Homo-oligomer: A and B are copies of this chain.
């Protein structure tokens, strides 16, 4: 089964939303995709017709197995291209999202398989997000939010869950990137901010909001 660019964009957005909320509703999808609720309804009918989602009028919706599989194929393409752009073309990691949004819709299985091999079958993209394999299987990693790490433990940044340009700009300022070692030195009750030591940098303070979006694992 193949999909239009627009269908793929909807499928991908529904996938991301239902990861968080289980059932997705029309307005939140419209907000996510910067479109109108009426347009969402139109597309839902189309995707239901293609048997990609469970959907009943006024009741919310979610992807079924076929839909999830389709979403994972798009996610795979997106993240492989992001990896390519950063690792091979030396783009900054906060500049690659919109280009990958275009590249992800190129539909050649062989292209993606060869790209995957060329890149060395990476498991995570430059933002630390897992790259599904060709069967839609997602690698797991034992990670938790920096905001839950006890004091004086050293951890390594493995992913960032908020990938807005604003967030990535901020992390760049703190010299935080994937693989960076961080030690949490102090927790301020007042606003939940953290004093941390970033490898080779002097101590600094990050807000709770930043900490919650930085995911880390213990050095093994």
A interface residues, Cβ below 8 angstroms from B: 85, 88-91, 95, 99, 102-103, 106-108, 110-111, 114-115, 118
Question: In the complex the two chains form, what is the Cα distance from A78 to B46 in whole Å?
Answer: 33
Q: A88 CB to closest chain B CB, in angstroms?
A: 6
Q: Is B99's CB under 8 angstroms from A111's CB?
A: yes
- A and B contact pairs by CB, cutoff 8 A, 19 listed: A85-B111, A88-B118, A89-B111, A89-B114, A89-B115, A89-B118, A90-B114, A90-B118, A91-B110, A91-B114, A95-B110, A99-B106, A99-B108, A99-B111, A102-B106, A102-B107, A102-B108, A103-B103, A103-B106
Known: A99-B106, A99-B108. 13 other contacts (CB 8 A): A85-B111, A88-B118, A89-B111, A89-B114, A89-B115, A89-B118, A90-B114, A90-B118, A91-B110, A95-B110, A102-B108, A103-B103, A103-B106
Inside 8 A of A108's CB, which chain B residues have their CB? Answer: 99, 102
Question: In the complex the two chains form, what is the Cα distance from A89 to B88 in whole Å?
Answer: 13
Instruction: Determine the residue in chain B with the shortest Cβ distance to A103.
Output: B106
Question: In the complex the two chains form, what is the Cα distance from A106 to B106 in whole Å?
Answer: 10
Inside 8 A of A103's CB, which chain B residues have their CB? Answer: 103, 106
Question: In the complex the two chains form, what is the Cα distance from A88 to B89 in whole Å?
Answer: 13
Inside 8 A of A85's CB, which chain B residues have their CB? Answer: 111
Q: A180 CB to closest chain B CB, in angstroms?
A: 25
Inside 8 A of A106's CB, which chain B residues have their CB? Answer: 99, 102-103
Question: In the complex the two chains form, what is the Cα distance from A110 to B92 in whole Å?
Answer: 12
Question: In the complex the two chains form, what is the Cα distance from A102 to B95 in whole Å?
Answer: 22
